[in-house]
Structure 1
Amino acid sequence: MPIKESAPQLNTPADTTTEDAVDSDLPGQVHRTLAEHLESRLAECTELDGGFAAAAREVSRFVLGGGKRIRPTFAWWGWRAAGGAPEGPAAEAMLRAASALELIQACALVHDDLIDESDTRRGRPTVHREFARAHHRERWAGGAAQFGMSAAVLLGDLALAWADDMLHCAGLQPEQLARGLRPWRAMRTEMLAGQYLDVFSQVRGDETPEAALRVAELKSASYTVARPLQLGAEIAGADAAVLAALESFGHDIGVAFQLRDDLLGVFGDPAVTGKPAGDDLREGKRTLLVAEALRVARERGDEERAAELRAVLGDPDVSPERIDSAREVLVRLGAQQAVEDRIAQLTAAAHRTLREADLAEPAATRLAELAEAVTDRTH
């Protein structure tokens, strides 16, 4: 099987969280919580079948092997913004609920890489490529690509199932779980809707900025920032005013986060992003960056540059030289600057929301810092 290693062993003790441990080292605490959960799930898989357990370890490796833990971080600070405690049994339950978001993220990324036929993720082969290589290496029967695709679909589904299990077994009180399920259920549907619309816009050739923004709202803004914030706030029992403020802040920062991703997908450094340069262009993604360039080209009657850009979109074999030319087109048509301006506007609006909201400290300050961190980044 592709993955030989087991989930990494952590030296962090698994006792009750402290304010310093969670508020100051949230990624580390999320990692610890996920490692504990995944260890128990892999033990269950081993009892079922050794071959399946070996495959399931890929989910553990994928989840524990990287990622910025953005979604659990926003969920935790949604909890704290609504007055949730920084320590104690309630905080431990919230930490487990927030950590479950990383398993939803794993599902989304594994399936997204398969849909986009991506070769790498975080500087490593994508899951479907890894299993295809294993098939080829072991000289198994049938097609390697088909096996890799099948494994990725099933392991992505497994991550989603484990996410639901982790939320329901987090130790929340019944009324907390009932409130938390509202954004949780909406988030899952919105994520899949955004993924479908992303694919749909590509096959239809929808080049409008409106379509690109709708995909950004559903595919990324919802499940990256807005719904995680609401999850934490709902579990804490937030009032309507706090929920409204977090919804507005989460939407603006979530869209800005995706727009930054769009820029990095074209202009980012592969050594930092872990993905080939210009991958979004090869995959034919109609992002706001592309939509803005084509809109300006239409207004100017610049069919030459529009044709040059369209010729690159969706061409998996496009040369690095043509990618460079497409980047130049995006810059010359002002699309890169237009997206940068939109990110700045959304971030400013989110900061205004925070200033006007009545959120508990230190959550208000930390959310302001997070807004900058996720929208002004290089990976």
Structure 2
Amino acid sequence: MGDEPLAAVERELTAQIRAGSARSGDLGPDHRRLWIAVGEALRDGKRLRPQLLLITHEGLGGRRTAAAVRTAAAVELLHTAFVIHDDVIDGDHLRRGRLNVSGAFAGEAREGDLPETSVRRYADAAGVLAGDLALTTAIRTVATCGAEQEIVDHLLDLLDAAVHTSATGELADVRFGLGLEIDPVVDATLRVAALKTASYSFELPLRAAAVLAEAQPSTVTALGEIGHCLGVGFQLLDDLLGVFGNEARTGKSTLSDLREGKATALIAHARSTPSWTALDGLVGDRRLDHGGAARARTVLTECGARGAVQDLADHHLDRAVQTAHRSGLPSTLADRLTDVVHDIRATAGEALVPAPTLTEEAS
């Protein structure tokens, strides 16, 4: 796949933002501000999900290029909606190293000298509403992708299932983080990763591509299995980056997950070791500073949690590659999906801070 299909996705996304913003003439400046925020949230994305859909559609011999482009754009809009909502849920005001939707509206509210509780309420409302606009636009984009009605119906079923599944995983993630039930074991965190991330980020674009290419049901199933493994592995690496990443490369804070006490596989593994006593006062501390985070990272490394999660990520990514080559997919497609796995690994590896550096930092 050359640059042209991805460039077409960018044009489609721009067109969707313009179409949404065009209605502001009737609805006024608040509507325009929300659409500007959605456009900003879309900016500088890696477009991994559209890329997966397009290379799979092409690799399966699909000929519905225009419909694939629109569906790929819809998947990116869905991702943007979930990212905006996720930042509201997590209370984050930064994304990719800059103010996110909530952060931008919080700044606007502070200019009006509002109390901080009102600032937070306004920022959260803007995030929810902007995310809603992106979500409904994603659905409409699939519904109007131009494929035959039977295929559109199948695509909408996939999209609907992804939304339901991801919402379920998001709630479980929040519940675990708040300690509303028994501390989750590693297997429980993997299930959340499958529900929250793999379902829409990897299984959806791969399955949608197969539907557009009119692939056999066995191929749709195999691609779903590949997407599951890819998604879980991707989320595990993301969890590592949330604690051990180079902030200049990732654009995300290495304090947020620790302060929030996010119930990742990293934390679940640490809870199962005697070293948890050294972490209990650090993980979940909203006032955790960089010194405390460095101590936490050292303990997470020395108790084996970092290595165990890296191994789990590698296991799932290896399974994705193995399934791609054993499931009867065209060899060129299996090779391209393998390249995607290599890119995910390389990107994470370049952004992870080596463990010895962390030990020195904490000393």
Question: Residue 286 of structure 2 is aligned with which of 316, 319, 322?
Answer: 316
Describe the SS at the equivalent of 1:143.
Answer: helix
Q: Is the 8 A contact 1:78 1:231 kept in 2?
A: no
Name the residue aligned to 1:181: 156
Name the residue aligned to 1:4: none
Q: Is the 8 A contact 1:30 1:69 kept in 2?
A: no
Give me the TM-score of the superposition, normalised by structure 1: 0.87
Q: Is the 8 A contact 2:106 2:123 kept in 1?
A: yes
Question: Residue 162 of structure 1 is aligned with which of 115, 130, 137?
Answer: 137
Task: Tell me the amino acid that sits aligned with residue 243 of structure 2.
Answer: V
Question: Residue 228 of structure 2 is aligned with which of 225, 235, 251?
Answer: 251
1:235 aligns with 2:212: yes
Q: Is the 8 A contact 1:225 1:253 kept in 2?
A: yes
Q: CA deviation at 1:255?
A: 0.4
Structure 1 outlier segments of 4+, above 3 Å:
19-23, 138-142
Q: Is the 8 A contact 1:97 1:166 kept in 2?
A: yes
Identify the range of structure 1 (101-110 vs 308-317) with the bigger mean alpha-carbon deviation: 308-317
Q: Is the 8 A contact 1:80 1:233 kept in 2?
A: no
Q: CA deviation at 1:325?
A: 0.6
Task: Tell me the amino acid that sits aligned with residue 175 of structure 1.
Answer: E
Task: Tell me the amino acid that sits aligned with residue 88 of structure 2.
Answer: L
| Percent identity (aligned) | 33
Q: CA deviation at 1:324?
A: 0.5
Give me the TM-score of the superposition, normalised by structure 2: 0.90
1:94 aligns with 2:51: no
Give unpaired runs (5+ residues) of structure 1.
1-18
Question: Residue 201 of structure 1 is aligned with which of 160, 176, 181?
Answer: 176
Q: Is the 8 A contact 1:107 1:159 kept in 2?
A: yes
Q: CA deviation at 1:241?
A: 2.1
Task: Tell me the amino acid that sits aligned with residue 94 of structure 1.
Answer: A
For residues 31 and 271 of structure 1, the distance between their equivalents in structure 2, rounded to whole angstroms, comes to 26
Give unpaired runs (5+ residues) of structure 2.
352-363
Q: Is the 8 A contact 1:56 1:155 kept in 2?
A: yes
Deviations 1:317-339 (A, max 9, x none): 10111111111111111111111
1:153 aligns with 2:145: no
Deviations 1:247-279 (A, max 9, x none): 221111110000000000000011111111232
Name the residue aligned to 1:5: none
Task: Tell me the amino acid that sits aligned with residue 82 of structure 2.
Answer: A
Superposed, which structure 2 residues align to 1:11-30 within 5 Å?
Answer: 20-22=2-4, 26=6, 28-30=7-9
Superposed, which structure 2 residues align to 1:1-379 within 5 Å?
Answer: 20-22=2-4, 26=6, 28-63=7-42, 65-85=43-63, 90-139=64-113, 143-203=118-178, 204=180, 206-295=183-272, 297=273, 302=274, 305-360=275-330, 362-378=332-348
For residues 349 and 258 of structure 1, the distance between their equivalents in structure 2, rounded to whole angstroms, comes to 15
Name the residue aligned to 2:356: none
For residues 3 and 284 of structure 2, the distance between their equivalents in structure 1, rounded to whole angstroms, comes to 45
For residues 29 and 288 of structure 2, the distance between their equivalents in structure 1, rounded to whole angstroms, comes to 42
Q: CA RMSD in A?
A: 1.8
For residues 244 and 318 of structure 2, the distance between their equivalents in structure 1, rounded to whole angstroms, comes to 23
For residues 14 and 101 of structure 2, the distance between their equivalents in structure 1, rounded to whole angstroms, comes to 19
Name the residue aligned to 1:12: none
Q: Is the 8 A contact 2:166 2:195 kept in 1?
A: yes
Task: Tell me the amino acid that sits aligned with residue 267 of structure 1.
Answer: F
Deviations 1:172-226 (A, max 9, x none): 2212102212221111111111110100111225231121111111111111111
Q: CA deviation at 1:359?
A: 2.1
For residues 310 and 173 of structure 1, the distance between their equivalents in structure 2, rounded to whole angstroms, comes to 55
How many residues are treated as equivalent by the alignment? 346
For residues 84 and 322 of structure 1, the distance between their equivalents in structure 2, rounded to whole angstroms, comes to 52
Task: Tell me the amino acid that sits aligned with residue 60 of structure 1.
Answer: G
Deviations 1:326-370 (A, max 9, x none): 111111111111111112211222111111122236422211101
Q: CA deviation at 1:140?
A: 6.5
Q: Is the 8 A contact 1:259 1:288 kept in 2?
A: yes
For residues 345 and 230 of structure 2, the distance between their equivalents in structure 1, rounded to whole angstroms, comes to 7
For residues 280 and 133 of structure 2, the distance between their equivalents in structure 1, rounded to whole angstroms, comes to 37
